[in-house]
C-alpha cells in the first residue's frame, strides 16, 4: 500500500487533517505519518524528521508527501537528499492542497491505487469545488501574470508597513490557499510575494502610500477581502501614542542625542563591544549536510526567540512581545531561504550562504528612504547574527557589568535580557528611539539615550556616567555639583517609586477616607503571580481567551476549571473577576464556523458570540461556578448592549449553578463590561441585574468617537479623556448609583493623571497591568474627592481632551 507523509508547520494542524482523512477510509490501515512542527507548540519543519517519516510510511509501494506552505517544500526537498537512492526513487513530492489532497490520497491509497495515481488524483483534489462553484473571474496584470482578484489599500500605519504590520500581513496571507502579491503603487515598485516578510518590508510603503494587491488561486477572493480588511484596521497595530519619538534615524556624531527611555541613570560605564562573527574558510560538506546544519540552527534560534517572546509577553505585554513575531517570520522567510538554498546547491557552505543572503536583505532595508524602515535593517542583522552563531557553535556573550551600559546598538533579544537591577542606564552610539531594542529597554524601565555617535564607545569602563532619559542629557565623568543634581533627581524618583512599592499591599484610600480597590488585569498564571507581588487587591479582569485561541478544539470544562483555580491560587485567595469568552472582531476561533462580517467590530462579538454558541458559554460558566464554591469569584459578561443579553446570560449561569450542585456560591458576583455607548446611557436599566459594571475604556472610546483604536490615521481622536467619553462614564456612575459598583479596566485606569478624574466621577475600582498597581494606589491616596468631583464636573463641559488634561494638572 502507498504510504503518505504530511509535512506541516503546525503539529496540531497536521493531526487534525489526518483525523479527517481517517474518517474517510473507514478503519482501513493506511500508513500515514506526520512530520510537523518542531514540537507540540513550536511551528517549523525539520528535514530529518521528514526523512524518518518517509521511512516509517514506506511499504515498498512508494510514498506521497503532502506539504502545507513555504519552507515545508524546501525541507521536504532536503529530506530526499538524506534518503538512500532506492528509497528516494519511490517518493513523490505532491503539490496538492494539504487537506483536500490528503483526503483524496488516503482514499486512493486505501483502495490499492499506485503511487503515481495517488499523487495525480490528490493534485486534482480541488476539482470538486471548482466544478461546483465555477472558475473565479480572472484578470491579467500588465506584466502578464494572471490574477483572479485585484484591490488597492491605503497604508494608515504611522510608520508604514514596518516590521510588525508587515509580519501580521505575511502571517495572515500564509493561511490562505492563494498566491498573494503586492506592490507599492505610489512609488511604482515591482510586485513582491506577500508571503515574504523581507520582500514586503522593502516595498518602502509609508503612511498614506497606496499598495496594490493581486490574488490568484482557490481562496483568492477570501485572501483579497482579508488583506483589505486587515489594512483598514491598521494591520492590527495599536498606535504607541504621542509620547514615543517618531522617525528618528540613526544619529551621526554631528547630531544631537535622542532621549529614548525616561528616568535617571548614574553609575560606572561598562561596555558591550560585540565582535563580528568571522566565517571560517572551510569547504562545503555537500548540499544535504549543509542544509541540514542550517535547519538545525534555525530550529534552535526559533526556540530561543519564542522563549524570549513568551518572557517579554509576561513582563512587558503583547505589544512588546509582537516585536519578535517579525524575527520568527524572517527565520521562515521563503525569499531568504530560497536564496540560501540556491547558494548551498551551487556549492557554498551554509554559513557564508546564510551570511550573504542576510546581508542582501539588510542592505535593501538600509537603502530605503524612510528612516524608521531603515532602522529595521538592525533587526535583520540581529536575527542573521543569531543564526550564524548557532551554525558555528558560538555563544553570544551577555553584557557583563553593573552600571551604565554603553554599546554601538542592541539587538532586541539582548535588550529583552537586560536586568534592571544591574543596568542603571543604556547609552547607544547609534540606534533610534523607535528601534525594537529601545522599545524593549523602555519596557524594562531602564533610562536610555541613543544616537550619541561613535565617540561614546571610547568611554573607558569604570568611568562615572550620568544620564537623564527624559531630556537626553548625558555627562561623562561629571563634576561634583552636576553629579549631585543628577543624584537629587534620581533620589526624588526613587522615593516616589519606593513609597509606592512599600505600600502596595495596603488599601488605596483617598484623603477623605473613601476606599478604591486597585486590581490587576491578568491573562495567565504568571500575570496573576505578578499581580500578587505588586499588591493587587484582586484580579479585576481575568482574560480567558488564552484558553480558547490558537487551538483546534475548545477547552473542556475540567481544563478551564483547573486554569481558573491556578490563577486564584496564585493570587492567594483574592477575588478573581473572570470575563467570559470575548472573541469575534479580530479574535476568531478556528473551531467555530462564522460568516464573514463586513465590519466584525460591530458584529458578533463578546456576549453576542457566546449567546449564539450557548454550549461554549454553559461549559465556561460551569467551570467558573465550581471554582466560586472555594474562592471569591465575579463573572463578567463582555460587550453587553441590551438588558435581554444580561437576562439570557444570567439564565445560563443559573443552569450552571444547578448543574454544579450545592446551591449558589456565597461570594459569587455578576457584572457586565460597559464598552458600548448605549449600555453606558442606559446603565440605570441594567443596574438591577448586576452587582458591578466594569467600563472598558478602550472599546468605549473607539465606539463613542468612531475612531478604531488600531487605526493610526485617527489615533489623535481616540483619546479616553475626550469629554464625550467622560460623559458616558459619568452616565454609568449615575445610573449605577448605590445599586452597583463601577470599575474601570481599560487603559485609562493606568493613567495616574486620570485617576483623580475617575474617582471624582464615582469610580470605585481600577484594574491595570500588574506592574502599574503600586503607582495607581499611590495616585488614589493623593485624591481629595471633593476637589476631584469639582474637576470632573468641569471636565464634562471641556472642549477636548487637551483641555481636560489642563484641568487635571491645574486641579
Residue 323 banded pLDDT, cuts 50, 70, 90: low
Fold (topology level) of 258-273+398-491: Glucose Oxidase; domain 1 (3.50.30)
Q: Which part of the chain has CATH 3.20.20.60?
A: 510-810
Q: Is the pLDDT of residue 22 over 90?
A: no
159 is catalytic: no
pLDDT of amino acid 744: 96
Task: In the chain, list all ranges with CATH 3.50.30.10.
Answer: 258-273+398-491
Residue 747 DSSP one-character state: G
Whether the predicted pLDDT of 322 surpasses 90: no
User: Which pLDDT value is given to residue 371?
Assistant: 59
d(CA 547, CA 567): 13
What is the C-alpha separation between 34 and 170, in angstroms, rounded?
25
Q: For residue 303, give Cα distances in angstroms to 299, 325, 385, 597.
A: 6, 12, 16, 36
Residue 599 pLDDT greater than 60, yes or no: yes
Are 173 and 198 in contact by the 8 Å Cβ rule? The answer is no
Using the predicted structure, report yes or no on whether residue 432 has a pLDDT greater than 70: no
pLDDT category, 163, cuts 50, 70, 90?
low
What is the separation, in whole angstroms, between the first and last Cα of the chain? 82
Q: Which secondary structure element, helix H or strand E, spans residue 270, and what is its range?
A: strand 264-272
Cα radius of gyration (the chain): 29
The CB-side HSE value for 618 (13 A sphere, CA atoms) comes to: 11
Please answer whether residues 113 and 62 qualify as being in contact, where contact means their C-beta atoms are separated by less than 8 angstroms.
no
pLDDT score recorded for residue 108: 83
As a whole number of angstroms, the distance between CA 63 and CA 70 comes to 21
CATH 3.40.50.510 occupies which residues in the chain?
3-133
Domain 139-236's class?
Answer: alpha beta
Three-state SS for 648-683 is: HHHHHHHHHHHHHCCCCCCCCEEEEEECCHHHHHCH
pLDDT at 250: 31
* Mean pLDDT within 140-153: 67
Question: How high is the pLDDT of residue 715?
Answer: 53
pLDDT value at position 280? 80
Domain over 510-810 is classified CATH 3.20.20.60: yes
pLDDT tens-place string over residues 603-616: 888 999 999 999 99
Query: Is the separation of the CB atoms in 121 and 678 below 8 Å?
Result: no
Per-residue pLDDT tens digits for 616-628: 999 999 999 999 9
Q: Please list the residue range(s) of the chain that carry CATH number 3.30.1340.10.
A: 139-236
How far is it, in rounded angstroms, from Cα 324 to Cα 439? 12
Which position has the higher pLDDT, 689 or 400? Answer: 689
Q: Cα–Cα distance between 714 and 712 in angstroms, integer?
A: 5
pLDDT mean over 59-83: 82
Task: Give the H/E segment covering residue 568.
Answer: helix 557-570
575-598 pLDDT, tens digit per residue, is 999 999 988 755 567 677 666 666
Which helix (H) or strand (E) segment is 97 a member of? none
Does residue 100 surpass a pLDDT of 80? yes
Cβ distance 431 to 438 under 8 Å?
A: yes
Catalytic choice (94, 226, 327, 745): 745
Model confidence pLDDT, tens digit, residues 744-753: 997 788 888 8
pLDDT tens, 257-298? 777 787 899 999 988 755 667 788 888 888 888 888 888 888
pLDDT score at 239: 44
Band (710; pLDDT cuts 50, 70, 90)? very low
Greater pLDDT, 44 or 637:
637
C-alpha cell at 613: 454558541
**Mean pLDDT over each residue of the chain, to the nearest integer:** 83
For residue 179, give the C-alpha cell: 498566491
Coil/strand/helix, residue 139: strand
Judged against a pLDDT cut of 80, whether residue 387 lies above it is answered with yes
Q: Residue 727 pLDDT > 90, yes or no?
A: yes
More confident residue, 432 or 210: 210
Mean pLDDT of 91-103: 87
pLDDT at 443: 65
pLDDT digit string, tens, across residues 198-228: 678 778 788 888 999 999 888 888 888 888 8
Tell which CATH architecture fits domain 3-133.
3-Layer(aba) Sandwich (3.40)
Contacts 24+ apart (CB under 8 A), 418-424: 418/444, 418/446, 420/444, 420/445, 420/446, 423/399, 424/265, 424/266, 424/267
Q: Say which DSSP state 251 is in.
A: P
Catalytic residue flag (residue 745): yes
> Which of 37-41, 400-404, 674-678, 752-756 is predicted with the least confidence, judged by mean pLDDT?
37-41
**What pLDDT score does 741 carry?**
97
**pLDDT category, 317, cuts 50, 70, 90?**
low
370 pLDDT band, cuts 50/70/90, is low
Tell me what the mean pLDDT of segment 183-193 comes to: 86
Angle between helices 752-761 and 801-810 (to 10 degrees): 90
Asked if residue 243 has pLDDT above 70, the reply is no
Segment 530-559, tens digit of pLDDT: 899 999 999 999 999 888 876 778 899 999
Taking 60 as the threshold, does the pLDDT of residue 144 lie above it? no
**583 is written with which cell numbers?**
472573541
Predicted pLDDT at 486: 92
Residue 428 pLDDT class (50, 70, 90 cuts)? confident
Residue 124 has pLDDT above 90, yes or no: no
SS3 567: helix
Cell reading at 389:
552563531
In the set 162, 436, 733, 759, the catalytic residue is 436
Q: Is the pLDDT of residue 251 over 50?
A: no
Q: For residue 633, what pLDDT is reported?
A: 97
Average pLDDT of span 359-363: 84
Q: Quick one: pLDDT at residue 248?
A: 27
Give the contacts of 395 (CB within 8 A, at least 6 positions apart): 389
What pLDDT does 364 receive?
A: 78
Which residues, including other chains, have CB under 8 Å from residue 110's CB and lie 6 or more apart?
1, 25, 28, 30
Calpha distance 419→466 (Å, rounded)? 18
Question: What local confidence, expressed as pLDDT, does residue 242 receive?
Answer: 30
pLDDT of residue 13: 86
Q: How far is CA 226 from CA 69, 173, 232, 261, in A?
A: 19, 8, 10, 36
> What's the CATH architecture for 287-392?
Orthogonal Bundle (1.10)
Q: What percent of the chain has pLDDT over 70?
A: 84
Amino acid at each position: 500500500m502507498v504510504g503518505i507523509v504530511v509535512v506541516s508547520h503546525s503539529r496540531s494542524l497536521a493531526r487534525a487533517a489526518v483525523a479527517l482523512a481517517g474518517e474517510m477510509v473507514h478503519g482501513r490501515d493506511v500508513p500515514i505519518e506526520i512530520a510537523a512542527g518542531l514540537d507540540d507548540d513550536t511551528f517549523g519543519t525539520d528535514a530529518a524528521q521528514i526523512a524518518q517519516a518517509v521511512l516509517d510510511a514506506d511499504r515498498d509501494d512508494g510514498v506521497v508527501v503532502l506539504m502545507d506552505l513555504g519552507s515545508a517544500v524546501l525541507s521536504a526537498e532536503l529530506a530526499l537528499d538524506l534518503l538512500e537512492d532506492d528509497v528516494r526513487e519511490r517518493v513523490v513530492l505532491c503539490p496538492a492542497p494539504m487537506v483536500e489532497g490528503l483526503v483524496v490520497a488516503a482514499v486512493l491509497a486505501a483502495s490499492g491505487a499506485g503511487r503515481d495515481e495517488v499523487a495525480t488524483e490528490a493534485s486534482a483534489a480541488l476539482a470538486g469545488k471548482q466544478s461546483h462553484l465555477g472558475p473565479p473571474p480572472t484578470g491579467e496584470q500588465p506584466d502578464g501574470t494572471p490574477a483572479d482578484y485585484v484591490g488597492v489599500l491605503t497604508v494608515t500605519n504611522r510608520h508604514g508597513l514596518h516590521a510588525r504590520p508587515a509580519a501580521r500581513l505575511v502571517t495572515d496571507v500564509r493561511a490562505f490557499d492563494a498566491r498573494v502579491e503586492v506592490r507599492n503603487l505610489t512609488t511604482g515598485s515591482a510586485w513582491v510575494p506577500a508571503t515574504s516578510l523581507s520582500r514586503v518590508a522593502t516595498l518602502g510603503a509609508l503612511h498614506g502610500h497606496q499598495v496594490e494587491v493581486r490574488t490568484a488561486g482557490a481562496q483568492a477572493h477570501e485572501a483579497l477581502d482579508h488583506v483589505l480588511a486587515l489594512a483598514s484596521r491598521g494591520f492590527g497595530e495599536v498606535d504607541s501614542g504621542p509620547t514615543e519619538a517618531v522617525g528618528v534615524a540613526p544619529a551621526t556624531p554631528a547630531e544631537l542625542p535622542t532621549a529614548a527611555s525616561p528616568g535617571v541613570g548614574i553609575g560606572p560605564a561598562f561596555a558591550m563591544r560585540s565582535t563580528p562573527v568571522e566565517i571560517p574558510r572551510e569547504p562545503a560538506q555537500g548540499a544535504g549536510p549543509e542544509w541540514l546544519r542550517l535547519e538545525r540552527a534555525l530550529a534552535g534560534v526559533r526556540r530561543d526567540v519564542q522563549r524570549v517572546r513568551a518572557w517579554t509577553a509576561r513582563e512587558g505585554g503583547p505589544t512588546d512581545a509582537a516585536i519578535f513575531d517579525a524575527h520568527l517570520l524572517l527565520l521562515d522567510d521563503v525569499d531568504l531561504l530560497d536564496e540560501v538554498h540556491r547558494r548551498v546547491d551551487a556549492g557554498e557552505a551554509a554559513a557564508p550562504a546564510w551570511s550573504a543572503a542576510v546581508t542582501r536583505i539588510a542592505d535593501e532595508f538600509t537603502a530605503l528612504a524612510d528612516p524608521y524602515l531603515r532602522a529595521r535593517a538592525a533587526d535583520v542583522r540581529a536575527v542573521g547574527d543569531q543564526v550564524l552563531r548557532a551554525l558555528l557553535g558560538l555563544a553570544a556573550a551577555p553584557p557583563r557589568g553593573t552600571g551604565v551600559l554603553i554599546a554601538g546598538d542592541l539587538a532586541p533579544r539582548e535588550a529583552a535580557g537586560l536586568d534592571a537591577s544591574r543596568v542603571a542606564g543604556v547609552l547607544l552610539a547609534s540606534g533610534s528611539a523607535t528601534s525594537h531594542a529601545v522599545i524593549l529597554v523602555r519596557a524594562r524601565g531602564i533610562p536610555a539615550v541613543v544616537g550619541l555617535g561613535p565617540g561614546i564607545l571610547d568611554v573607558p569602563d569604570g568611568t562615572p556616567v550620568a544620564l537623564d532619559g527624559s531630556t537626553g542629557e548625558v555627562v561623562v565623568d561629571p563634576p561634583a555639583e552636576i553629579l549631585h543634581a543628577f543624584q537629587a533627581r534620581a533620589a526624588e524618583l526613587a522615593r516616589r517609586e519606593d513609597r509606592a512599592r512599600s505600600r502596595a499591599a495596603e488599601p488605596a484610600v483617598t484623603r477623605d477616607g473613601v476606599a478604591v480597590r486597585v486590581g490587576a488585569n491578568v491573562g495567565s498564571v504568571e500575570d496573576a503571580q505578578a499581580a500578587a507581588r505588586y499588591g493587587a487587591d484582586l484580579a479585576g479582569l481575568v482574560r480567558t481567551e488564552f484558553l480558547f485561541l490558537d487551538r483546534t478544539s475548545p477547552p473542556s470544562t475540567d481544563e478551564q476549571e483547573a486554569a481558573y483555580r491556578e490563577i486564584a491560587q496564585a493570587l492567594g485567595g483574592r477575588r478573581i473577576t473572570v470575563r467570559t469568552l470575548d472573541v469575534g472582531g479580530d479574535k476568531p476561533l478556528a473551531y467555530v464556523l462564522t460568516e464573514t462580517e463586513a465590519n466584525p467590530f460591530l458584529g458578533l462579538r463578546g456576549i453576542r458570540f457566546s449567546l449564539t454558541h450557548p454550549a461554549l458559554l454553559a461549559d465556561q460558566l460551569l467551570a467558573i461556578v465550581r471554582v466560586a464554591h472555594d474562592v471569591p469569584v465575579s463573572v463578567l459578561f463582555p460587550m453587553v448592549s441590551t438588558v435581554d443579553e444580561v437576562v439570557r446570560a444570567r439564565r445560563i449561569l443559573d443552569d450552571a449553578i444547578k448543574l454544579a450542585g450545592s446551591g449558589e456560591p456565597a461570594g459569587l458576583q455578576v457584572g457586565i463590561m460597559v464598552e458600548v455607548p448605549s449600555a453606558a446611557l442606559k446603565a440605570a436599566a441594567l443596574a438591577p441585574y448586576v452587582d458591578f459594571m466594569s467600563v472598558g475604556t478602550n472599546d468605549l472610546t473607539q465606539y463613542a468617537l468612531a475612531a478604531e483604536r488600531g487605526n493610526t490615521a485617527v489615533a489623535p481622536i481616540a483619546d479616553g479623556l475626550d469629554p464625550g467619553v467622560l460623559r458616558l462614564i459619568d452616565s454609568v456612575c449615575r445610573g449605577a448609583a448605590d445599586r452597583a459598583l463601577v470599575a474601570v479596566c481599560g487603559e485609562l485606569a493606568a493613567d495616574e493623571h486620570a485617576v483623580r478624574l475617575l474617582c471624582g466621577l464615582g469610580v470605585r475600582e481600577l484594574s491595570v497591568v500588574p506592574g502599574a498597581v503600586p503607582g495607581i494606589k499611590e495616585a488614589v491616596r493623593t485624591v481629595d474627592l471633593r476637589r476631584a468631583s469639582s474637576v470632573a464636573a468641569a471636565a464634562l463641559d471641556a472642549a477636548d481632551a487637551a483641555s481636560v488634561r489642563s484641568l487635571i494638572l491645574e486641579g
